[in-house]
Amino acid sequence: MAPSTQDVRKSRASDDLIMATNNSSIVSKRSVEHLYYPDEPHYFRFFVKKFRRRAPLVNRGYHLRLKVIDTLVRRFLQKQSNRKKVVVNLGCGSDVLPWQCQVRYPESCQDVTFLDVDYPDLIQKKRQIVLETPELQDLMGTWEVNDGSPIVLRSKKYCQVGCNLQQLSVLQSCLDTLFDVPNTEFLFVAEVSITYMDTKGANGVIEWAATVGNAEFCLLEQILPDGPDHPFSHTMLGHFNKMNAPLKSVHRYPTVASQEKRFKSLGWPSAESWTLWEAWSDNLFMTAAERRALDSVEPFDELEEFALFASHYFVILATTPKSEVQGHVSKVHEEADISSFQCPMTMRAYDSAQGHRRLGAAMLVREPNGGEFISHNFGQGPVGRMNSEDLYQISSQPVAPLPSVNTPSARVCHSLTDLGSAGVLLAGGRASPSTAFGDCWLFNKQLSAWERTKDLPVPLFRHSVTRLGSSTLALLAGGRKNHFETSAEYFLFDPAEGWKKCHVQSTPPALYSATLVCVGEVGSRAFTGILSGGSLEDSVINQKLYTWRLDISEPEPVLSFQQRIPKDRGLPGALARLGSSAIQSLGYTLLLGGVIEGVQLPSVYDIIVLKTTETDVRVVARLDGTDSSGVMRPFLMGSSVVHYGDGKFAILGGGATCYAMGTFWTPGSYSFRFDPKLLTQHSSGQTASRPEPIQYQETIEFSEGEKRPVE
């Protein structure tokens, strides 16, 4: 039965929307080409009329996508074979892979044909640009043009086929016409293309390609590693739905493991796979030197958000016949054997844009009249860096903040550390990633006012600071000096004397956004603690754990490190996290959120409980804040965590730019209670009591030496 006119129109409209996704993609790829490949011929410029520079996060993401595809195509081209090789780009859009490969790998491309396949309308437009552009014609030598066949352009090195991928018999006929199929090796490439097809059609393409003969299939597209409700997944799905180009297969194949099973069930006996976050740190795709070199191209300080993007995309390279060598397989984290305890969270939803603040910091404020509230200050808001604070009520007494004559300037990625009677230390931060701050302030608890203190020896942001036991001293570790240089120095802060550089023994590598915790005091002149996670200089997460001892008995503080082997190596992201919050309470350390190596941190490990000594770190439990009440889980990225007494914690703000798909803001303020008595009962399923909600009260702007409420 022939399709109705209405069905044909719907299908055509859907095809047009899918083709429209090419327009945004090539603008981003042109931005990457222009910035990251200045010494190569630029081919995307012929398909993009006006250059538009994308945001650094988008550039970095598309650079990785292009690098991954380029690497796997190069490996195919350089593979030893007596057969002819053909690279088939399925849903090619305006991609310029044939010309880039010819420039980069001319010797490997001598007897290779590149075949671009896409909708007839799009291929016709691409053919016109190719035929009108001498720089693109050079690849072909002599060519044939045919308007009466799906093979609209034909040459020895480059061909074009206008064909809907639902019409596999047409595509097979084209391959039979162009090539001696039994004596040819094919690499099929589908970079975020067949994901827009219905799942049956996409599976048909994969299954058909497995029957062609000697073939490889490279598929790069989206996944939902922590489910569709994860903030990035939710934003990503909404973005494509809004474009009327929904992702069709991602719900059926949401993980890399399910994609591997998909390919095996469709005739591909062997496969290698990576999330793009795994590919980022794999030397097959990029060396440490290449990763570091990217930081010199443009200021970039969004590694957590880059990891979010890269954890939600994957690439699989399937082969037939079966490979004798087992290639790389993406990590699969089984649930660890660790007790889980219910700590039900209370959420108070924000109204409108209230509470939309990330990469700020928060502190507990006790007023002279006995009242208490939480100040969540500075950070990034919907329209830029914020020179303000959000006030949260935690008791029945209303908040009545006192005016402060002097206040720090707007900033992000600074630190706040409560030093007891000495006040709360604010250190460093930044404006742009190339502009670090060195100023430091103490919040005087008696006067509820900021007071300037000694500056940092070097401007820093994304450093780590911990209070040393019950003293009024603090230790600062690492941090970024700018967007391309990381500090390997450690400084001791004394409110009376300012900063002193530590003499370091067995120095760890330079790190930023690491976990730094003081776990013990040895008399009054020595302290012990742990250092873990953080980013190395090449933007890969540090996997090593260190214990440290700081001796301040001499004029020059001496800090010594010793590397340790965690006992809980099987637990994903137990300690090796970037940008997590570490809070001590009642003899334990709570580690909240952050980014781990290679994959998305599973939500069940968002909050873990550590027991630490001078020589050992153990993960003793994980806390589950969800229950039957339906409270949405917090987004522990860019958020701030405050311990406000009696085992109670507040989670404030947070959010992330989700690549080019929009920004997700944490929907409310959260509170939960940690009761260590539950840990001693040796049984999971125990539940802590639910605390009262943390109530947003108002936003106070810091303006010309005074505070004023936002109207």
Residue 543 identity: Q
Nearest partner of 333 among 600, 567, 593, judged by Cα: 600
- What string of DSSP letters covers 375-423? EEESSEETTEE--EEEEEE-SSSPP-PPP-S--PPP-BS-EEEE-GGG-
40: left (phi over 0), alpha (psi -120 to 50) or beta: beta
> 277-317: per-residue pLDDT in tens?
999 999 999 999 999 999 999 999 999 999 999 999 999 99
598: left (phi over 0), alpha (psi -120 to 50) or beta: left
pLDDT of the residue at 3: 53
Sign of CA dihedral 415, 659, 537, 279: positive
Nearest partner of 404 among 52, 15, 700, 100, judged by Cα: 700
- Output DSSP code: residue 321: S
> 581-637: per-residue pLDDT in tens?
999 988 899 999 999 999 999 988 999 999 988 888 888 888 988 765 667 788 999
Mean pLDDT is lowest, of 55-64, 393-402, 566-575, for 566-575
pLDDT at 9 over 50: no
> 474-506: per-residue pLDDT in tens?
999 999 999 999 999 999 999 999 999 999 999
What is the C-alpha to C-alpha distance for residues 189 and 178, in angstroms, rounded to an integer? 18
Query: What percentage of the chain exceeds 70 in pLDDT?
Result: 91
Confidence of residue 404 (pLDDT cuts 50, 70, 90): low
The mean per-residue pLDDT over the stretch 686-706 comes to: 81
Question: Whole-number mean pLDDT of the chain?
Answer: 91
pLDDT of the residue at 323: 75
pLDDT at 53 over 80: yes
- What string of DSSP letters covers 442-484? EEETTTTEEEEEPPPSS--BS-EEEE-TTSS-EEEE--BSSSS
Report residue 619: phi and psi, to 5°: -90, 115
pLDDT of the residue at 302: 96
Confidence of residue 571 (pLDDT cuts 50, 70, 90): low
> 120-129: per-residue pLDDT in tens?
999 999 999 9
Structure tokens at 81: 């074979």
Residue 378 identity: F
What is the C-alpha to C-alpha distance for residues 103 and 101, in angstroms, rounded to an integer? 5
3-state secondary structure of 699: strand
Question: Is 541:576 a contact under the CB 8 Å cutoff?
Answer: yes
Nearest partner of 459 among 432, 479, 473, judged by Cα: 479
pLDDT of the residue at 8: 44
Question: Is 376:362 a contact under the CB 8 Å cutoff?
Answer: yes
What is the C-alpha to C-alpha distance for residues 639 and 138, in angstroms, rounded to an integer? 53
Structure tokens at 97: 């892979």
> 222-275: per-residue pLDDT in tens?
999 999 999 999 999 999 999 999 999 999 999 999 999 999 999 999 999 999
pLDDT of the residue at 139: 85
Structure tokens at 237: 């799905």
pLDDT of the residue at 705: 52
pLDDT of the residue at 216: 97
* Beta strand extents in 588-711 (DSSP E only): 588-592, 607-612, 617-624, 640-643, 648-652, 655-657, 663-665, 668-673, 695-703, 706-709
Confidence of residue 661 (pLDDT cuts 50, 70, 90): very high
Contacts of 481 (CB under 8 A, 6+ apart): 436, 458, 459, 460, 487
pLDDT of the residue at 681: 61
3-state secondary structure of 266: coil
The mean per-residue pLDDT over the stretch 211-220 comes to: 96
3-state secondary structure of 75: helix
pLDDT of the residue at 573: 62
What is the C-alpha to C-alpha distance for residues 512 and 476, in angstroms, rounded to an integer? 11
Contacts of 583 (CB under 8 A, 6+ apart): 589, 590, 592, 641, 643, 649
pTM of the model: 0.94
Neighbours of 661 (CB within 10 A): 19
Helical (H) or strand (E) element with 274 = strand 270-275
What is the C-alpha to C-alpha distance for residues 285 and 41, in angstroms, rounded to an integer? 21
pLDDT of the residue at 574: 76
- What string of DSSP letters covers 501-528? EPEEESPPPP-BS-EEEEEEEETTTEEE
Question: Is 603:226 a contact under the CB 8 Å cutoff?
Answer: yes
3-state secondary structure of 187: strand
The mean per-residue pLDDT over the stretch 412-429 comes to: 97
pLDDT at 527 over 90: yes
What is the C-alpha to C-alpha distance for residues 392 and 409, in angstroms, rounded to an integer? 21
pLDDT of the residue at 625: 81
- Dihedral angle of Cα 449, 453, 456, 462, to the nearest 10 degrees: -10
What is the C-alpha to C-alpha distance for residues 364 and 341, in angstroms, rounded to an integer? 26
